[in-house]
Amino acid sequence: MRIDGRHYRSIWLAEDGWSVEIIDQTKLPHVVEIARLKTLADATHAIRAMLVRGAPLIGATAAYGLALALRERADDATMAEARAALMATRPTAVNLRWALERMARALAPLSESERPHTAHRLADEIADEDVATNRQIGVHGLKLIRKIAADKAARGGEGPVRILTHCNAGWLACVDWGTATAPIYMAHDAGLAVHVWVSETRPRNQGAAITAFELGQHGVPHTLVVDNAAGHLMQQGLVDMVLVGSDRTTAAGDVCNKIGTYLKALAARDNGVPFYVALPSSTIDQEIEAGRDVPIEERDGDEVLCVTGRGSDGALGRVAIAPRGTKARNPAFDVTPARLVSGLITERGVIGANAREIGGVADASGKPDARRGAARAKSCAK
């Protein structure tokens, strides 16, 4: 999508043809700074420190990270170590595992001389596919927004379709378009009136910092609200649909997404507001049935105790918002049970959040490997 009228992807090959460039998302919305990833260490740092974030972009960055590692050495041991280092960066978004397994399956049978070039080509393929996938999510989601608009008009409702979103499931969380935002951008571009309620998404404020930035750059009408306002807005009849992304959706349709998503789903159910989740099939984890088995990232309590922002002097700074010594707990994701989900908008169509329909769209290339089997056995033994 666009920044200052210029088209960007969130990750792209640099002019040297092997390193990659990203937009450093820790600086948004105040500064648009491009960072270059030249090594595996650069890639692991970018994911862990959230210069890049969002499930699909984490997957694409990991794929390039593996390619960068293999450029230096391409033997089996290096490949295994690089994979392990990337897997350890963030635990919840399953696209990370998906991308690395896909790369490893294709690279393992190749000779050391073939691997670096093929790894780069595969990473490019993963990035390009993400763009096409999100475009398709947009096409299917647009039909849904049109239907909601038509139903609203038939009931005598006026004004735009009012969509509440959480966190950032936009193009900056993917390679382009976004998952939850693709239908919104397409509706806006097609002349269908939409208005987005952007929920700020404490503690890291991805809604306020990134979604508001994206929508503003594309000219989509939006209003920022604090996370706690969502239930009230729904009660007041000011929300026509909730549309969020996912970091991992189980085979049975439980949706893991940014902390606070579950509360929005509960409020949506209580107020008869449809709650949709937009996700690529690469976010479906066929290895896990129940949402309680999704590993939930626990982040530093400092993110809860302090906020970062730009002061009136224009300088970026960090301020404390709680008494010194306060303990903070910071689970980064929660799970919305399938029963609260109205539907999943995938690149293959809109489906119900249930095992039968999910089985029909789940990624066909995702064969579990031995390592994944071992990891599962360990978590069951706990």
Catalytic amino acids? 247
Footprint of ligand MRU on residues 41-60 (CB under 6 A)? 53-56
214 touches ligand MRU by CB under 6 A = no
332 touches ligand MRU by CB under 6 A = yes
- Please give the structure tokens belonging to residue 298: 């626990």
Closest CA to 47 of 19, 11, 7: 11
CB of 174 to ligand MRU, least distance (A): 5
Give CA–CA dist 365/79, Å, rounded. 20
Q: Identify which of residues 79 and 99 has a Cβ nearer to ligand MRU in the complex.
A: 99
Q: Identify which of residues 274 and 280 has a Cβ nearer to ligand MRU in the complex.
A: 280
93 touches ligand MRU by CB under 6 A = yes
Return all residues near 357 (Cβ < 8 A) that are at least 6 apart.
Answer: 344, 351
Q: Identify which of residues 106 and 132 has a Cβ nearer to ligand MRU in the complex.
A: 132
Cβ atoms of residues 129 and 60 within 8 Å? no
174 touches ligand MRU by CB under 6 A = yes
Alpha carbon 382 to its chain's center: 28
| Residue in 173, 182, 187, 288 binding ligand MRU, rule: CB under 6 A | 173
The CA–CA distances, whole Å, from 350 to 14, 137, 140, 238, 280 equal: 36, 9, 7, 24, 11
CB of 230 to ligand MRU, least distance (A): 15
175 touches ligand MRU by CB under 6 A = no
346 touches ligand MRU by CB under 6 A = no
Cβ atoms of residues 341 and 249 within 8 Å? no
Cβ atoms of residues 137 and 179 within 8 Å? yes
Q: Identify which of residues 28 and 40 has a Cβ nearer to ligand MRU in the complex.
A: 28
Q: Residues in the site for ligand MRU, rule: CB under 6 A?
A: 53-56, 93, 167, 169, 173-174, 179, 206, 245-247, 257-258, 332
